[in-house]
Amino acid sequence: MIARALRRLLRPPAACIVVAVPAAEPAADVAGYDDPGMPPHVTVLWPFVRRVRGRDTAALARIAAEHDPFEFRLTAVREFPGGVTYLAPEPAERFVALTRAVVARWPHLQPYGGEFEDVIPHVTVRAGSPVDAEARARLEALLPITATAAQLAVLVPRRGRWRLAYTVPLGRVASSA
């Protein structure tokens, strides 16, 4: 029993698969987003594996190749219970499809550990406490934000901050002949 608890404590924290949304950085700044090393993003799957191996990279690349890049817009400021303020992407279905494809490959890994029944794509801009009315108005003034989902990024936690492990492009990459 003690050995199992110790192994659990010594396990590295889980990686995360995201679609980075650099265009949302001004909104994250306005809202006070604070997750060192993690860019504004739509989460595809967290928690992901604890140790990223070559077979994981290859499997994720195959999944990404089956999903073409797509444009989306962040169109609304919303909140989850518990003080999480986020920007809602449209269309959301393409993000849900990415999550479902990844979960189909790793069915033992469920979004947010299976804590929530529905996958709700979002770009978190503040967690822990809701934004005040002034910040919300400033966020709404930045919308809509147009962006392109062109790749999946895998980030791993190291020493209190997220580090980029690798990226894989969405869609089939044309080979040069």
Coil, helix or strand for 61?
A: helix
DSSP code string of 18-75: EEE-GGGHHHHHHHT---TTPPSEEEEESS--SS--HHHHHHHHHHHHTS--EEEEEE
Of the listed ranges 40-44, 80-84, 86-90, the one predicted with least confidence:
80-84
DSSP code string of 145-165: EEEEE-EEEEEEEETTEEEEE
At 6, the pLDDT band (50, 70, 90 cuts) reads very low
What mean pLDDT is predicted for residues 95-112? 96
- Tell me phi and psi for residue 17, to 5 degrees: -105, 125
At 9, the pLDDT band (50, 70, 90 cuts) reads very low
- Checking if the pLDDT of 10 tops 60, the result is no
Pairwise CA distance, residues 44 & 29, whole Å: 22
pTM confidence score: 0.89
- Checking if the pLDDT of 176 tops 60, the result is no
Q: Would strands 16-20 and 151-158 be described as parallel, antiparallel, or unpaired?
A: antiparallel
Pairwise CA distance, residues 15 & 53, whole Å: 11
Pairwise CA distance, residues 37 & 151, whole Å: 18
What mean pLDDT is predicted for residues 65-81? 97
Contacts of 114 (CB under 8 A, 6+ apart): none
Domains in the chain: ranges and CATH? 13-169 (3.90.1140.10)
Pairwise CA distance, residues 21 & 145, whole Å: 10
At 136, the pLDDT band (50, 70, 90 cuts) reads very high
